[in-house]
Amino acid sequence: MVSTSPVTAWIDTTLKDSAEGILAKQGITPDSLIQMLYSQIVLRNGIPFDPCFTTKKPTAIGGMTRAELEAELWKGIESISNGRVYSVEEVDKMFEQDFGA
């Protein structure tokens, strides 16, 4: 019989619920995912993905939660209310600078 130990982690409730909803659709429990992650750490002798968070990439609307989308929309409304508006050319230039697109 395999000996098991508990792993306890405190994370944002919204993040947890969103992630567990996605896992449930794939038939994966949080316990199974943690087991998979730890197995990959041992097999690779390190984190099995690049934990780099500095690269900025645009997010597709379909990849956002409702709360994230609403927050972005409110930023736009606030920007317009404060007189900050941009032409299409200015936006294209900003995207090119930020994302190399």
pLDDT tens track for 34-85: 999 999 999 999 999 887 766 566 678 888 889 989 998 999 899 899 888 8
- The helix/strand/coil state of 46 is coil
Give the chain's end-to-end CA distance (angstroms, integer). Answer: 54
pLDDT digits (tens, 9 = 90+) for 13-41: 999 999 999 999 999 999 999 999 999 99
* Residue ranges covered by each domain of the chain: 7-54, 61-99
Which one of 3.40.50.2300, 1.10.150.250, 1.10.1220.10, 3.90.1150.10 gives the CATH number of domain 7-54?
A: 1.10.1220.10
Asked if residue 5 lies in contact with residue 32, where contact means CB atoms within 8 angstroms, the answer is no
